[in-house]
Amino acid sequence: MTMPRYAALCLLLAVAAPAPARTPDDMERPFDQYSWVTTHNAFTSNGLIPNQSQTIDVQLAEGVRGLMLDLHFSQGRVRLCHKVCTGEDSATLADLLNDSILPFLDKDTEAIVSLHLEDTTTFEQLSDELALVPRLAGRTFDPQAWETPSWPTYRQLRDSGERLLIFSLSETNTGSFRTGTGVAHILPSIEYTVENYWSLGTTFLQHDYDCYSRWAGKGRRLDRSTIEGKPGWRPLFTMNHFHGVPFSPHAGVDNRFERLSSRYMDHCRPAARRKPNFVAIDFHEIGDVAKFAEWLTLSAPDAL
């Protein structure tokens, strides 16, 4: 990144992003024009090798609006585990929704939260788990119910009550799920999002800043501009920015505004031809991630 460009970014940071990104002041833009702090392996704050140092409740309270969750079937339930579940101590998806996500949305009536699932369960297992969350009905975003020419605005989503967007990497575990007196909706990530390959490198000694599609082998380019069946709707862009093995002392380097903005301006923006909606990182409270997401929303040009 050239020094004039970096200096301009730093100036914009100081002026335009004084606080963590929570509910935007301007709610009239389509949802795909906002950017959010997103926590990778959001549930691992108490694990052996944590990706976060805070619980999900604290993350939400501090302005995180995207949560990446790994789902595994263990001990008869769908649980939040990274690769392997260690037993009944692993939290269940229903408990997370009933005890954390839905109460948070009840308390903050203007918040919109997105869940990004890496799901290894079966459709039946997931259906049984979601049936334990009766209050989920009517709370999840259903794009087929919207006939807007682009993504609904933030205000429209807020007013609709569909303030929980759920995306899944498992295409077989998407669609409508019966829960309570209605249904919950899960969207296929490969259709509704674009996403760069997730790793900066296995360890903090490696930094591969190239930005290329996670699904390049399936012909899904990072600059894909349309969602099938939804003309005028762009896929939401997840910018992954973390290592294979988390290391909290290095998060202060990876999560600096200069590192994030340099990768965005020099690599991800030319590849995706737009700004990210979800900035996915480890140890979100270390560094300048909230300020970077706020700068993206307030100041960054939306598309090349």
Per-residue pLDDT tens digits for 91-128 = 999 999 999 999 999 999 999 999 999 999 999 999 99
**Domain annotation covers residue 247:** yes
Cα–Cα distance measured from residue 166 to residue 177, given in angstroms and rounded to the nearest whole number: 12
**Domain annotation covers residue 62:** yes
What's the whole-number mean pLDDT along residues 144-150? 97
What's the whole-number mean pLDDT along residues 290-298? 96
Residue 3 pLDDT > 50: no
CA angle (128, 132, 138) in 5-degree steps: 100
CB 77 within 8 A of CB 92: yes
pLDDT tens digits for range 4-21: 454 455 545 444 444 455
**Domain annotation covers residue 7:** no
Beta-bridged to residue 38, according to DSSP, are 66, 280
DSSP 224: -
Both tokens assigned to 203: 């360890």
Query: For the chain, how many structural domains are there in total?
Result: 1
**Domain annotation covers residue 86:** yes
Instruction: Using the structure block, give the residue that is written with the tokens 């991630």.
Output: 289
pLDDT tens digits for range 154-168: 999 999 999 999 999
pLDDT tens digits for range 43-59: 988 777 899 999 999 99
Residues 6+ away with beta carbon under 8 Å from 103: none
- What pLDDT is recorded for position 16? 43
Q: Which domain CATH number covers 210?
A: 3.20.20
Q: How many CB atoms lie within 10 A of CB 258?
A: 16
Domain range for 268: 30-298
**Domain annotation covers residue 8:** no
Share of the chain above pLDDT 90, in %: 78
Cα–Cα distance measured from residue 85 to residue 73, given in angstroms and rounded to the nearest whole number: 8
Cα–Cα distance measured from residue 108 to residue 65, given in angstroms and rounded to the nearest whole number: 12
Both tokens assigned to 246: 């988390």
Beta-bridged to residue 165, according to DSSP, are 114
Task: Indicate the residue type of 20.
Answer: P
Both tokens assigned to 100: 């954390």
Instruction: Enter the pTM of the model.
Output: 0.92
pLDDT tens digits for range 216-229: 888 899 999 999 99
- Alpha helices (H) in 93-138, listed in sequence order: 93-96, 102-107, 123-130
**Domain annotation covers residue 16:** no
Of 68, 92, 28, the closest CA to residue 193 belongs to 68
- What pLDDT is recorded for position 301? 79
Pairing outcome for strands 36-39 and 175-179: unpaired
